[in-house]
Each structure stands twice: as C-alpha cells, then as structure tokens.
Structure 1
Amino acid sequence: MHGAQLLLLVVGSIAVTAVARRRDLPAPLLLVVVGLAISFLPGADDYQLDPHILLGVVLPPLLYSASLDSSYLNFKAVAGPIVQLGVVLVVITAFLIGLAAHLLMPSLPWEVALLLGAVVAPPDAVAAVAIGRKLGLPRSAMTVLTGESLVNDASALTLYKVALAGVAGASTGLFSQLSTFVVAVVVGIAVGLVIGVVAHFARTHLDDTVLESVLGLVVPFACYLIAEEFEGSGVLAVVAAGLYLGHNSPKAGFATRLQEQSVWTTVDVLLESLVFGLIGLELPFVLRGVSGLDPWLTALALLAAVIVIRIVFVFSRHVILRLLRRPRPSWRVVAIVSWTGMRGVVTLAAAAGIPDWTPGWAYLQLVAFVITVGTLLLQGISLPWLIRGLGVHEEKDTAQEAQARKVAAKAAKAMLSELVPADIPVEQRKMFSQRMHAMMQARDRIIEQDPSQEGAITRVRREMLARQREVLVAERSAGRLDDEVMRKVMRELDLEEAMLTGTWRSRL
C-alpha cells in the first residue's frame, strides 16, 4: 500500500467512524461493512494485512490502552472466569476446530489443521466491549470480557507459534511445548512488570507532562519487543505493564492522568478505525486463491463450530457452578458472554503470518477471513438486540459515588481543621474551620476582591485535593470503593485542580 493510499485509508476510516459515532452505531462493524463494499469496486487493490505491522505496531498500543483503563482489583476478583475463557477455552477451541477442519478436509495435515485452530481461537473483544459499554452491560461482565481479550491473545499466539513450528518440521515433545508456554508467560509478565516499575518511577519524577506522554507511548512497544526478544509473550508484557501503571496512576500527577486519557483515547480511535477498515479490504486477496463452493461451505461450517463451542463452554461452566453451589452470574449475563466471541485483528494477523508454502494455505486464509467477518457481523449486529431483549443493565453506582464524594469532602474538612491553631478552644476551632471551608467555596469571589489572596487560597485548595485523593485510594485499597468509581471521582478532582492552576494546558 502506497503512501497516498494509506492516507486515503486513514482519512476514510476516520470519516466512517465519525458517521458511526454520530449515528450511535458500532464503528468497528460499520468499518468492516464499508471495507467489504469498497473491495467489490472495480480496480480495488489485492491487499494483504502485514502481520508484523499488526502484531508489532497496532496490537501493543491497543492492549496497553485497554490495560490502563482496566481495574487490577476487579481483574483479580474475576481471575477464574478470565483464565477459563482466555486460556482454557482458547486451547479447547484450537483443538476442536483443528479436528473439525481435518475431518472436513482429510487432505489437510493434522499439524496444519491445528495451526488453523490456533489462528481462529482468540476472540477480539473490541467490538463486544464497545457495544456492551454503550448499552450498559454489568461491570462484572465487562471486566470478564476485557480481561479475556487481554489474556487470550497471549495464549493463542503462543499456541500458534508451537503449531507453526510443527508445520515447519521443528515440532518437539509435549514437555518442550509446555515449557515453551510457561517460559513465554513468566518472561512476558516479568518484562512487563520491570518496565512498568521503571516507567512509573520516571513519570513520578519527570514533572513534565509532554515527556511523560512520550514515555507512555513508548512503553507498549518496548514491552512487546523486549519480551519477544527473550522468548516471552509480548502481549502479556504489555498487559502486565498496563495493569501496573493503571493501578498506580493515582500516584502520578493530575496533569499526567488527564493528558494520558486524552492521548490514549485518540490513539484507540485511530488504530481501531484503521484496523477494522483493513479487515474488509482484504477480501480480494482471500478470493485470489480459492475456487469452487466446497471451501466456502467448509469455512461456514467452521464458523458455526466456533460460535457453538463458545456457547457450550460458557453454559457448561455455568451449570457446573450451579451444581457446586458456587457464586455465578445470572443466565442472562451468561447468554450475552457466550455470544461475544467476535474475532478480529489477531486472527487475521496470525493467518497472514502463515508461510505461503504451507499445505492448504489459501484455504486457511479463507477460513480465517470468513470466521472473522462472520462473527463480527453476525454476533456484532445481533448483540445489541440480545442485550436489550434480555433486559440486562449496568448496576448503578450512585450510592457508592455519593459515599466516595462524602468521604472525600470529610477528608477536606479534616485537613482544614488541622490548619487551626491547637490552642484555640473547641467551639472557636469549629467556627474557624467552617469559615475556612466557606472561603474555599467562595475562592473566585475572594480573589476577585483581593487578588493577593490567590496564591494562599489555591495552595490550600490543592492540599485539600491531594488529601481527598489519598482517602479515595485508601478506600479502594480497603475494598470499600470500586476502582472505576474511584477513577471517576478522582477525575473530577483532577479537572478541578487543572482549573485552579491553569498550568498543565500550557505544557501541551
């Protein structure tokens, strides 16, 4: 793809995304549909996705952004379902799809069939999470879907590497394959945590929001490349660093948090628009090596198998939990989670990375494309209807938000009380504290009357905001405040401090 074509693709993808956001439509789905339509136009280029660009350039920032925005504590609370969906289901899907492909096409070697299974095993929850967030899925379901999308790529790509080695004739024993998987997990997480610790130290000592933003942009690529260099999982490295930095973001400066959110929101929109637009444009490349109806029928059969495997697994897990009398979500939430198996960029990138000398190579590309586009359109379009039809709604956090603001306000008043001289009688201390609180509330009017008071009042107010943040973090750590609620209230405090100082914008 030439520079002019790339520019046209970027501009076109952003335009389609803008229409989707204005019309309240799922942007990923609309982008795929538009890409498919363009691919049928006369003169459409025969374009193939570059796996190195997708896995090394596009995937790390998307995973990192999702990790930053995820709650480590919520992630840990539902670690069981996340691992079962992100690891166990991926392995089961890979083997069952491999077996089905081998039975449907006996000429396809078992090693190649297993490779195909690894390619189509990991769901991409970008579209599902976008739809779920817009329609108000329960936070527990959103946490599971997000966590699954952060973990399943690592397990699928590791299995993909093992299967690819088997196709290339470098297959090893089961013990060696398991050790490869374990090393990839351990090294990946270790690299991510080390880089996360270093990045956190740097961003809390730089005192320069521009450099801190630049550092944040470098982190996901550093994690991915370094982990892969040491035979670790680059995906897990990115996720580990993102979760660590996201959990410790309250220790960074308010300007860093505000700018970081703006930067990554922009990056997400740009990369997601580009990727989903490219998915549809790949159709001519897929059609090039396929002839006849049989490959299409086989691909559609495997598409159905991928959907059914997830439904059976998710509902089987629910039944087992019920028999064991363990805590479990409602069957409505289970039904929605079972229908969120849309495939995406990882599946197509992995398929594009298969050497063209592989037996059945054109067939593998077709199956990966049909499953990706089929799940995106079939499940993506019907998911909003399913959510509305089942009447599943997000749990409201109004009570917890009110409690968080109450605790923060109490901490602010307590800090003002500490400024009152200790030798003043109790009643006078109370009256003095109330007057100081009223002074903080009337800050703008007082400064307008006496500008010389601005520095002192602003300094006290910033100290109050710092105390409020400390209390919010303590409440979260004690398990009395949800991570997402804490971040919402803390953002309000950050915006207030930005208005107080007016300095962070000048650094942008």
Structure 2
Amino acid sequence: MHIVETLLVLVAACIGFALVARRARLPYAVVLVLGGMALAFIPGVPLVELDPQIALAFFLPPLLMASAYRTDWNAFKGNLRPILLLAVGAVLFTALCVAAVAKALIPGLPWAAAIALGAIVAPPDAAAAAAIVNRLRLPRRIVIVLEGESLINDASALVLYRFAVAATLAGTFSLVEAGLSFVALGVGGVAIGWAVGRLAVVAIRRLDDTLLETAMSFVACFASFFAAEFVHVSGVIAVVATGLVLGRAQHGLSARTRRDARTVWEFIEFILNSLIFILIGLQLNGILDRLDAYGAWRLAGLAIVLSLALIVSRFLWVAPAMWLPRMILSIRRRDPMPPWSHMTIISWAGMRGVVSLAAALALPVGFPERDLIVFLAFCAILATLVLQGTTLEWLIRRLGAEEKRRPGMGAPEAAARALVAHAALQEMERRAEDVLSGTIAQDLLPEYRDRVRLLDGINQGAIAAERASRLEHRLHALRAGRARLIRHRDEDGVEEDLLTRLVEELDLEELRLRRLLGAADA
C-alpha cells in the first residue's frame, strides 16, 4: 500500500504545482522540478528512488508513442534533413563537446566515461519544450522540427551511451564498430516498430470496440519497445515507428475511437510528464548524500561550466547545420535559409529531462566517477529547465517569432470544410432524385444547403456580422434544448445513461458551432 499512497500524493502534488505554474505563467516542468526539490528537503518525506529501468521502460515508450501518434508524417518526412541534423548530428556534437570539457576539468576521468557523460546530457527533452511551444503560435516548421527531433534524439543518445559505457568497462572503443552498430540498431528498430504497428492496425480494425481498440494501442506501444530490446535493437526507434504507423491509420478508425483514444493519451501524457519532472526534483537529496567527499565550490564550478558547455554547443551546431546544406544550389532554391530568429529559438529550446537522469542512474556500480556524473547530469537538467525553460517564451516573443492569433479559421481549413459540405450536399441532392426516398432527402436539403452557404461565405469573405448572428441563434437554441433536457431529467426521472448520450451529442454540436463562430468573427 505504501507505493499506492506515495503515488496518489505525488499525483496530487503534480496537480497543485501545475496550477501554480499556470497562475505564475511559468513552464509547469520547471515548477514541478523545483517543487520536487522543495519536497525532498521536508523532514519526514520518504526518499523516493527513481529506478532507471522503470523510467526508460515505463515512462519513455508511452510518451514517445503519444508524440509519434499525432505527428504529421508528411511534414516529418518533408523536414527529415533538419530533424536528423539535430536528432543525430547535434546529439553527437554536443556529447563530444561536453566530453572534451569534462576531460579537461576532470583529468582522471577516462575518455569513454567522459563521452558517456556527454551522451547522458546530450538529448533535449520532448516534454519540456512541448509544454512551452504548444502554448504559443510558433511557425509550423519550428514545431515540426523540434517535435521530430524529440522522436529520434533519445535513440541516438542512448546508442552512444551504451557504447561508451561498454568501452569504459572493457577499456577499448571502436568508432567504426559504433557507427555500424548505430545503423543496425536504427534499421532493426524501424523494422520491428513497423511490423508491430501493422499488426496492431489489423487487430484494431477487427475489434470494433472503442475501449479494446484504445487498449490495443497501449499494448502495441510496449510490445514494440520490449520486442526491439529483446533482440538488442533500438526500442526507442521501434516505439516511434509504431506510433507513426498507428497515427497514419487512425483516420480509418471510428469517430468515437479517435476521440476517446486522443483523450486517454492526453491524460496519460500529462500524468507521466508530471510524475517525471517531480521525481527528478525528488532525487536531489539522494544525489547530494553521496557527494559529501567533494567540495561544494568544486561541485558548483563543475556544474556551471558543464551546463554552459551543454547550452553553447547546441548553438555552435545549429547555425552551421542550417547554413552548410544550403550551399548546394538545389537545396537553397527548394528550401531558403530560415530567419536567424528561428535558429535562435531552436538553439535555445534544449531543455533536458527524464532520459538524461535515467541514463545517469543506470550507470553500473563501480563506474568511474559515477556519483559525480549523476550529480552533473542532474545539474544540467536543472540548469536548462530553469534557465532556458523560464526564458524560452520570453525569447520567442522578444524575437517576434510568435504568429499573431487571428480569430477564426484559416483559408485552408475553410476550404477543406467547404469541400466536405459540397460533397455531402451533392450526395443529398442525388438522393432527393430517388423516387422512393426522395421526399425525405428533399426535407433535409435546406439544412445541407445552409451549411454550404455558411462555409462559402467564410471563403468569400461575406459579412461577418450576419454569419455570426446565424451561428449565435443556433448556439442559443442548442443551449436551450440541453437545459430543457436536464430539467426533464430532474422532473420526470430520465435514465442517466440516456441523458449522458444525448448531452454528449449536444456538446459535440456546440463545439462545432463554436469553431464556426470563431471563423465568423474573423
């Protein structure tokens, strides 16, 4: 029961800290880490140890799956070059830079151990950046590149980490072997993830039950991870591949399954992200207890210098990685150089998180300077979350990179909605010509024509006040109907199940009207 009680207390604390973050307009990841650190120093609070295997096997797969599931595959594929340059190139470059600084500051640290430290802190955390980026209206390409990087960078960092740890323990390291193994691990992970994803799609389409279909997506998530790890290929890349396959297949599922699965995954994502960041903060006590032999000033100096090296190395990589490919004329014509503000944002969005801490804690007992490496990894997480996490939103607005929020829908959305409305109207007009069922279809035609007129009005810039008034009338009528239904329940005892179903239908219609009303106000 102790673990259940602890978990419930942590979830309650996560909710409280998330509310504090919202009121203070701070990234909730920062508040959760600082809150966890504060809790760790309260007398009587039990020591909560984060098992690295649980962190990597329990937390990481669903978080990666959720990100991959909602990823736009075409956009991901179209931006594969900058994504790979960050997810692989920036990770390797950052790891080498941090390793060189660590070796200079700690001469007795073996090179392989220094590279292990670099690999631990190299990958930025997806959840930390998403918590800020999703609150703002950034240019779509920045969001795609950052999200795409977060899907792959953990895999490249963990592969380098494993080789560095093995080389430290064995005393030898082969760059060629590491490179070939990296390719093999990646290709193997993609193959297993794709196979599990395709099997899951076939199974989900045969289940015909929303709860079972949603549960199957979780089974696929962990199945791909553990299957890949079992055959010693990249479980992280396998989960990403499975998520991309399921994400592309979701439009073939029922509307209810898509809606409910999205809600469930969003809830899981919030809970796991929140627990991760508060658990990171709670590790501070245990880490400090093992470093009594080190001087406080030396520890502080090492932490500051290595954190600065970590931040600066990303800047040193991003600018050349953006500029050098465009020296090729065909690339420059197809993909002009982005504004320097975009490069600055991508460089600054490098907060570290759970993967770095879990990898540090997973170092074998007896690893050279293990406790110091764990401490430096924690400090890197803390420094990047607090420094970059609290200033990223300010930087984005200072650079003027945030797109202005325009009420209503854009032209592509309005055009897509009009396409649907015209197709539906054409089908209804076809049915109206049927001798047997034409009377019913004729009665429905005004409703479908009205929808077409509304969306065509949005596309053609019709008078907004008139469109808004029509939608407001519909919204008020819908609310009146729902209120009457609820009063009917109280007066005549309507069954709760029936009431729930009817209210759900009215709620969905209200959301549709509100979305169109926003377009009418544009």
Give the TM interval when normalised to the shorter protein.
0.7 to 0.9
Q: TM-score, normalised by structure 2?
A: 0.80
Partner of 1:474: none
2:373 matched residue in structure 1: 364
1:25-174 aligned at under 5 Å gives the runs 25-169=26-170, 171=172, 173-174=174-175
Partner secondary structure for residue 419 of structure 1: helix
Q: Kindly state the Cα deviation for residue 145 of structure 1 after the two structures are TM-superposed.
A: 0.5
Percent identity between the two aligned chains: 40
Aligned residue number for residue 446 of structure 2: 438
Measure, in 2, the Cα distance between the counterparts of 1:297 and 1:442: 69
Question: Alpha carbons of 1:495 and 1:72: their partners in 2 closer, same or farther (altered >3 Å)?
Answer: farther
Looking at structure 2, the residues matched to 135 and 242 of structure 1 have their Cα atoms a distance apart, in angstroms, of 25
* Letter matched to residue 300 of structure 1: I
Task: Give 1:342 deviation, angstroms.
Answer: 0.5
Q: Give the residue type in structure 1 aligned to 2:446.
A: A
**Residue pairs, 1:171-190, within 5 angstroms:** 171=172, 173-190=174-191
Cα distance, 1:25–1:349 mapped onto 2, change above 3 Å: same
1:405 corresponds to 2:417: yes
Alignment length (residue pairs): 448
2:397 is the alignment partner of 1:393: no
| In 1: Cα distance, 2:102 partner to 2:378 partner | 15
Deviation at 1:119, TM superposition (A): 0.6
User: What's the secondary structure of 1:168's corresponding residue?
Assistant: helix
Q: 1:244 aligned to 2:245?
A: yes
Verify the 8 A CA contact 2:29 2:274 in the aligned structure 1: yes
Partners of 2:149 and 2:16 in 1: CA distance: 30
Cα-to-partner distance string for 1:233-282 (whole Å, 9 max, x where unaligned): 11111111111111121111111101111100110111111000011111
| Separation in 2, partners of 1:245, 1:160 | 29
Give the aligned partner of residue 382 of structure 1.
391
Q: Give 1:434 deviation, angstroms.
A: 6.7
> Is contact 1:90–1:122 with CA below 8 Å preserved after alignment?
yes
- Cα distance, 1:324 vs. partner? 4.6
| Amino acid in structure 2 at the alignment position of 1:319 | W
Aligned to 2:338: 329
Among 401, 419, 429, the residue aligned to 1:417: 429
Task: Extract unaligned runs of 5+ from structure 2.
Answer: 452-473, 478-504, 513-522
Given that 1:48 and 1:352 are in contact with CA atoms closer than 8 Å, whether structure 2 keeps it comes out as no
Decide whether aligned partners of structure 1 residues 498 and 214 sit closer, same or farther in structure 2, where only a CA change above 3 A counts.
farther
TM-superposition CA deviations, 1:398-452 (whole Å, max 9, x none): 111111111111111122233244799xxxx9x997754225689999xxxxxxx
- In 1: Cα distance, 2:20 partner to 2:449 partner: 42
Q: Is the 8 A contact 2:39 2:282 kept in 1?
A: yes
Q: Whole-Å Cα distance in 1 between the matches of residues 373 and 311 of structure 2? A: 18
- Retained in 1: the 8 A contact 2:30–2:390? yes
Contact 1:120 1:347 in 2 (8 A): yes
Q: CA deviation at 1:2?
A: 4.0
Cα distance, 1:172 vs. partner? 5.4
- State the superposition RMSD in angstroms: 2.8
Deviation at 1:305, TM superposition (A): 0.4
Name the CA distance, whole Å, in 2 between partners of 1:258 and 1:171. 52
Q: CA deviation at 1:316?
A: 2.1
Give the conservation status (yes or no) of the 8 Å contact 1:254–1:497.
no
**Residue 339 to residue 204, structure 1, CA distance change in 2 (3 Å):** same
Give the distance between the partners of 1:3 and 1:439, measured in 2 at CA. Answer: 53
Between the aligned partners of 1:353 and 1:113, the Cα distance in structure 2 is 15
Separation in structure 1 between the aligned mates of residue 24 and residue 218 of structure 2, nearest angstrom: 31
- Note the C-alpha offset of 1:185: 0.6
Structure 2 counterpart of 1:306: 310
Q: TM-score, normalised by structure 1?
A: 0.82
> Taking structure 1 as reference, are residues 200 and 22 closer, same or farther at Cα in structure 2, changes over 3 Å only?
farther
> Which residue of 2 is the match for residue 352 of structure 1?
361
Return the offset for 1:36: 1.6
Mean CA deviation greater in 293-302 or 370-379: 293-302
Q: CA deviation at 1:170?
A: 7.0
Matched residues in 2 for 1:14 and 1:243: separation?
30
* 1:265-302, Cα deviation, whole Å (9 max, x unpaired): 11011111100001111111221222202132112101
For residues 333-361 of structure 1, give each alpha carbon's deviation from its aligned partner in whole angstroms, at most 9, with x where no partner exists. 11111100100000000000001201111
What do residues 176-205 of structure 1 show as CA deviations (whole Å, max 9, x unaligned)?
A: 322321221111111111111111112222
**Change in 2 beyond 3 A, CA 1:87/1:217:** same
- Aligned residue in 1 for 2:269: 268
Moved more, 256-265 or 33-42: 33-42
In 2, the alpha carbon distance for the partners of 1:256 and 1:170 equals: 52
8 Å CA contact 1:199–1:219 kept in 2: the answer is: yes
Gaps of 5+ in 1: 446-491, 500-508
For residue 10 of structure 1, report the CA deviation from its aligned partner: 2.2
